[in-house]
Structure 1
Amino acid sequence: MDAYDKGSNARPVPGEPEAAVPDSRPPEGQETSDGHETADDHGTSDSHGPPVGQTPSARIPQQYGDQQRGDQQYDGQHDDERYDDTALAGPPLPPPPAGIAALSLPYQIAAALALAVVAVAACVHVGMVFLHVAPSNTVTKQHGQAIDEWIYPEFEQNWKLFAPNPLQQNIAVQVRADVRAADGEIRTTRWYDLSALDGAAIDGNLLPSHTQQNELRRAWDFFVATHDNANRPNGLRGALSEKYLRRIVVLRLDREQAGGRGAVVQQVQVRSRTTNVPPPKWSQEQVSDKPIVRQLPWWPVSEADRAAGTRPGESTGTEASAR
């Protein structure tokens, strides 16, 4: 019998040397009871670090009390939690400049000057319109002509839409002329209803032109506003309105070939025929249905009143070249 029994509870016999305690780990290459395979001395781990040839995530830390990671591979996920790369990048860069600031210095100066000119022009225009619609005052009395030259005819203001009693009349502008025919005879044409011709051109037209709708009507309103009931001008704008209306009717007569082909307009006469719009049946208002005619004197037509291409010299040259 040996000095001590073979087994885990064997005790040494007094007086005999202590025998070495057998290693509880199984031999190399032999699996343990939990299914893991042992490694040799070079592959085992100790308290100083992971085994040689293995990554930190591959070691089995059960003997140190750590939670087992299994076979998960090391992907550096935890390193991102420990190191902040944004701290090394510095503050974010400011956004690039936009608008005028993105231009070079010469273009910035040009853009600033253009904006300044537009702002000044807008302020001047608003001021002129305000003085035009404002009641008579010291500024309008002293600079009324300059204000009218700025406003008319492009920026004229019309407030009839907001009047207590809007316009309730139909006004037809008509014209006739004395023409010299091709044989030299002077003839008087019939009355041409220019307003009716404009109305016929507008009917059925989804996009009528501004000229067809307003040119003749505004020209007649301009004439009436600058003349008295005896057709005498009441200011400097009276002569301008007369010349404007005369040129329009001469152009329209040439377009209609008044007096025949090749006839030349010598003088024109304009009249208006005004009729009241009948009130609705439910209204108690009573208006006259009799038309009111305002007939102007004859106006001689000068060469300046004729449109280019309709002057006698130019038409004769054109006909000669055609022959």
Structure 2
Amino acid sequence: MTAPVLAGLDLGGTKIGVCLGDETGKVIAAARLATQAEASPEPQLRYCIQQFREMEAKTSLAAPAALGIAAPGPLDPQKGCLLEVPNMPAWQGFPLRDFLADHLACPVNMANDANASVLAEAYWGAAQDVDNAVFLTMSTGMGAGLLLDRRVYEGQLCMAGEIGHIRLSEDGPVGFGKAGSVEGYLSGPGMVQVALAEALACRQRGEKTEIPKDASRWRTEDFLALARKGDPAALRALDRIGAKLGQLAALLADLLNPDVLILGTIGSAHLDLFEPRLRRVLDQEALPQTAAHLQIRPSGLSDRGNQTALALARQQLWYE
């Protein structure tokens, strides 16, 4: 019996990834295009469908048996559409799931990228050997995917894990429209806000820093590179961010008692910087038993964007 072909669509604010793969998480063919966030979704999706057809022809693969869509932000599970995605206004309310199901003639499974990520980690990554895990996206936004008793927990409205708006302090960097929020501290743009604030304070004390005054093109990777070089403002920013990450980890540890906390994207790439700072606060704030039990891991996925979407296709195919 021929193994079924799975299709994946990873929808983001800046890019759309499409791929074909199999149940082992292997990506057989893939393509990418830039997202036109303010343009109509329909022509962009038609181009994605064309890419699927071309990949099928080039690889001599069968038509996909199921499609998984990993999408940003809160979703409407009944209508199969995006709800509130500020950086993708034209996509809000578009019947994404039904449009692709009709044109590809296969069942479609759609979830937010945090839930899709923790599912993929459970299949092929850092949560294969545990029953309970939390995945933190730590990217342009900040959300959590919850794996509880080997099932992805989505909540009544499929909005469980939308932790970005939770306030960690009365003031601080702004994310999700809230000062001092999880997204304000722990998303990529939020980390840059923290670094710029520390640079300003550093200059006011008469100290030197390589963090630029004009940081309009500055990225999280630039800030972390300076922290590795020992820049004083960058190190203070890293300490603040690590402490807030530890505060969040302590809340998750005591509330959910997971086996593993998986740091995605930025956290995964720089685990050596974040883990000791996180662990210091986690051990202070969480119950001793839950803190000691909790393992901190990087993502175990080799191609997270594509594999998160393939995980949803696999789940749909086997009704897991």
Q: Which has the larger strand fraction?
A: 2
Bin for the TM-score computed over the shorter chain: under 0.3
Q: Per residue, is there more helix in 1 or in 2?
A: 2
